Amino acid sequence: MVGTSTKVDESVVEDSSITTSFTKISTALFYAGASMLITVVNKSVLTSYGFPSFQFLAICQMFMTIFVLFFAKSLGKLKFPDLNRHTFKDTFPMPLIYLGNMEFGLGGTKELSLPMFTMLRRFSILFTMLGEYYLLNIRPKFSVEVSVGMMVSGAIIAASNDLGFNFSGYLFVLINDLLTAANGVFTKKKLNSKKEMGKYGLMYYSSLFMVLPALILVYFSGDLDKVYRFGYWLHPPFLIQIFISSIMGFILNYSIMLCTQYNSALTTTIIGCLKNIFVTYMGMFIGVCSILMSHLGHHLNSSQQILLLYKT
Q: Give the DSSP per-residue string, 187-228.
A: HHHHHHSSSS-HHHHHHHHHHHHHHHHHHHHHHHHTHHHHHH
Q: Distance from CA of residue 251 to its chain's centroid?
A: 11
pLDDT at 12: 38
Dihedral angle, C-alpha 18, 23, 25, 29, nearest 10 °: 150
pLDDT at 17: 59
Polymer length of the chain: 312
Using CA atoms, how far apart are residues 285 and 281, in angstroms rounded to an integer?
A: 7
Q: What is the mean pLDDT of each run of 10 residues along the chain (312 residues)?
A: 49 53 90 85 84 90 96 93 90 90 75 73 89 88 79 71 72 91 92 81 94 92 92 93 94 93 89 69 47 48 51 54
Contact 210/99 with Cβ under 8 angstroms? yes
pLDDT at 183: 92
What sign has the CA pseudo-torsion 162, 164, 167, 173? negative
**Is the peptide bond between 93 and the residue preceding it cis, with omega within 30 degrees of 0?**
yes
Helix (H) or strand (E) holding 136: none
Its pTM stands at 0.80
Using CA atoms, how far apart are residues 287 and 179, in angstroms rounded to an integer?
A: 31
- Within 13 Å, how many C-alpha atoms sit on residue 59's CB side? 16
Using CA atoms, how far apart are residues 238 and 140, in angstroms rounded to an integer?
A: 45
Using CA atoms, how far apart are residues 7 and 227, in angstroms rounded to an integer?
A: 65
Contact 266/128 with Cβ under 8 angstroms? yes
Instruction: Count CB atoms within 10 A of the CB of residue 7.
Output: 10
Contact 185/131 with Cβ under 8 angstroms? yes
Using CA atoms, how far apart are residues 290 and 277, in angstroms rounded to an integer?
A: 15
Q: For the chain, what is the total number of helices (H) and then of strands (E)?
A: 14, 0
Q: Distance from CA of residue 7 to its chain's centroid?
A: 42
Contacts 24+ apart (CB under 8 A), 305-308: 305/122, 305/125, 305/151, 305/270, 305/273, 305/274, 305/277, 306/274, 307/147, 308/125, 308/144, 308/147, 308/148, 308/151, 308/270
Using CA atoms, how far apart are residues 95 and 211, in angstroms rounded to an integer?
A: 10
What sign has the CA pseudo-torsion 288, 291, 293, 299? positive
Contact 65/207 with Cβ under 8 angstroms? yes
pLDDT at 146: 80
Contact 172/104 with Cβ under 8 angstroms? yes
Using CA atoms, how far apart are residues 213 and 246, in angstroms rounded to an integer?
A: 18
pLDDT at 96: 92
